[in-house]
Chain A
Amino acid sequence: NAGVMQNPRHLVRRRGQEARLRCSPMKGHSHVYWYRQLPEEGLKFMVYLQKENIIDESGMPKERFSAEFPKEGPSILRIQQVVRGDSAAYFCASSPQGAGVNTEAFFGQGTRLTVV
């Protein structure tokens, strides 16, 4: 099992472009979480998805950000019309069931987005 795979590892976008971040969960995992880490800050929860469903998007900015986890294929975090403030490391985690006290969430290595 290769673990949670995120790509690309590094992404550079100009202001106004779209950024698409991909996350392939571990085999057998149907729950995906996205976190954002701004410089000098901790990881901040963005969204929790199960296959084809958004369960909790309370951490997602209201505009420009969207996430999906289709029946087939990776989970995608999409940022439209990127601005410099979107520059951050974006981490994905997956778990076989909802993360709880006895269920470990496994993290990917992250995608570092730089907006120029």
Chain B
Amino acid sequence: AQRVTQPEKLLSVFKGAPVELKCNYSYSGSPELFWYVQYSRQRLQLLLRHISRESIKGFTADLNKGETSFHLKKPFAQEEDSAMYYCALLTGGGNKLTFGTGTQLKVEL
């Protein structure tokens, strides 16, 4: 069965420090992975998808099939990056997203 694991419930970093939010997945098919973000009192929104190989708000994520990982990275954290981050895997023939439990990122001054 498919599974997404985000081992850290809370990650606290100082402003300007590098950030890495971990995500590992388990899936027998070809994985399609996403990162979603939820800022305080806002709705969940798509941050980036691996297929686009894009950088959004300075964040990047590389799919590593050997390690079954899709870690989210940013070289220099900003205060406005503080939010809840969810890693998600598209399964079910493209119909459903399987989410991890999320990591709360707190950027301190």
Contacts and interface: CB of A to CB of B under 8 A. Distances in A.
Interface of A: 3-4, 33, 35, 40-45, 48, 55-56, 58-59, 91, 98-102, 104-110
A108 B43 CA distance: 6
Given A59-B96, A98-B95, A105-B97, A42 B51 contact: no
B62 interface: no
Contacts of A59: 96
B10 interface: no
B95 A43 contact: no
B20 interface: no
A3 B95 CA distance: 20
B92 interface: yes
B11 interface: no
Interface residues of B, number: 22
A91 B46 contact: no
A69 B44 CA distance: 22
9 contacts: A33-B97, A42-B4, A44-B99, A45-B97, A48-B92, A56-B95, A59-B96, A100-B90, A102-B51
B13 to A, nearest CB: 22
B35 interface: no
Interface in B41-72: 42-46, 49, 51
Of the candidates A42, A45, A101, A110, the one having the most CB atoms from chain B within 10 angstroms of its own CB is A42
B32 interface: yes
A10 B34 CA distance: 28
A99 B95 contact: yes
A107 B99 contact: no
A91 B96 contact: no
Contact of A101 (B32, B45, B98, B102): B32
